Amino acid sequence: MDGRPCRPGPRVGDGNWIAGVFRTSAAHRAGIPSTGMPITIPHVIPGDPLRISASTFVAWKRCPDQANAMLRGIYGPDSRPAFLGSLAHRIFSRHLNRGPIDAEEFDQACREEIGASTLNFKMGGLEIKPSSLSGMIEEVRGLYDRFVRFPGAGFEGSEVPLAHQTDGGVELVGKVDAIYREDVGGHRLVDWKTGELGDPVDQLRFYSLLWALERDEVPVCVEAVSVKTGESHRAHPTMEELEGVAAEVAAMAAEMRGSWNQGTALERRAGPWCRYCPILEECPEGQAAEALIG
């Protein structure tokens, strides 16, 4: 955290929270820009529909061709850390919505969350046997024990889906881990990390833009928190920053459509993100980075 007080962001519109879920007008849900929130995605060249998430946006800023693969439905292999992270997020959401999970019920709670989600199918691909699941559940328990120490005042919703459709066939989508109402007014958006904090700036800015487009409100704060290490990064979005992100989203859409329309290749940039890249096997740059990083 940076120690700066949170200040209410500008807000217009008729949205309101009911039972932890934000409800907006039909106009907002349709993605019609508000006259009071003058942020829009600039027009881009015509082409196929695009569905841009925070993960594809971050991937584009790192390696355009990796983002291209994700947009074409090609994803990297499942991994044990990703499985653990997904299960931990479901447990965090369960805690926020239902209350604390008793120690003696924790194992069963994890198994229920696995059974009620796609994690049940991913166990096969990762060759996770029921006999080895208990050890993984204990790892999640360790994260949960840290998670419950974070203050929960002002909580209003978890796993909150957001979507904004532009008039150019570009849809922005995302899901915010937790939403809190700040004492000074406005909302704080939180993204839980179950590993290292990393660099969450681009992801948080994307969520800030999507929230502003969909809710007619600039978030007071956006925050990424590593439950594992206790590290956090908090930012206070500004209109100028959000306009910059909107321009970047338009640039991404234009680059993707330009490549698809003309059949041209996109740039590849190597880095730590290559490890689970869906096109690693056909990317010499990524393979060289993996060999160097180990």
Tell whether 125 is covered by a domain: yes
* Tens of pLDDT, residues 92-118: 999 999 999 999 999 999 999 999 999
Tell whether 237 is covered by a domain: no
Tell whether 113 is covered by a domain: yes
Tell me the average pLDDT across 163-172: 94
Q: Assess whether pLDDT exceeds 50 at residue 74.
A: yes
Instruction: Give me the sign of the Cα torsion angle 93, 99, 103, 104.
Output: negative
CB 256 within 8 A of CB 51: no
* Structural domains of the chain, count: 1
Tell whether 6 is covered by a domain: no
Tell whether 89 is covered by a domain: yes
Supply the pLDDT for residue 294: 64
CA distances from 87 to 94, 265, 277 (A): 11, 36, 22
Tell whether 115 is covered by a domain: yes
Residue 64 CA to residue 264 CA, distance in Å, equals 12
Tell whether 224 is covered by a domain: no
* Tens of pLDDT, residues 127-139: 888 788 999 999 9
Q: Assess whether pLDDT exceeds 60 at residue 37.
A: no
Supply the pLDDT for residue 181: 96
Going by C-beta distance under 8 Å and a sequence separation of 6 or more, which residues neighbour residue 180?
153, 154, 155, 156, 187, 188, 190
Rounded to 5, what percent of the chain is helix, strand, coil? 45, 20, 35
* Tens of pLDDT, residues 190-229: 999 999 999 999 999 999 999 999 999 999 999 999 999 9
Residue 150 CA to residue 189 CA, distance in Å, equals 14
Tell me the average pLDDT across 224-247: 97
The rounded Cα 164 to chain-centroid distance in angstroms is 15
E-assigned strand segments in the chain: 16-18, 21-23, 50-53, 155-165, 170-181, 187-193, 221-226, 232-235
Residue 257 CA to residue 47 CA, distance in Å, equals 6
Going by C-beta distance under 8 Å and a sequence separation of 6 or more, which residues neighbour residue 281?
none
* Tens of pLDDT, residues 246-281: 999 999 999 999 999 999 999 999 998 888 888 888
pTM score, two decimals?
0.85
- Closest C-alpha among 153, 166, 154, 161 to residue 22: 161
- Closest C-alpha among 33, 97, 24, 55 to residue 198: 55
Tell whether 227 is covered by a domain: no
Q: 56-61: long-range contacts at Cβ-Cβ below 8 A with a sequence spacing of 24 or more? A: 57/202, 57/203, 57/206, 57/248, 57/249, 57/252, 58/202, 58/203, 58/206, 59/273, 60/252, 60/255, 60/256, 61/202, 61/248
- By residue range, what is the domain housing residue 115? 80-147
DSSP class per residue in 206-264: HHHHHHHHHHSB--SEEEEEETTT--EEEE---HHHHHHHHHHHHHHHHHHHHHHHHTP
Element (H, E) at 111: helix 106-115
Supply the pLDDT for residue 167: 86
Confidence of residue 235 (pLDDT cuts 50, 70, 90): very high
CB 197 within 8 A of CB 231: yes
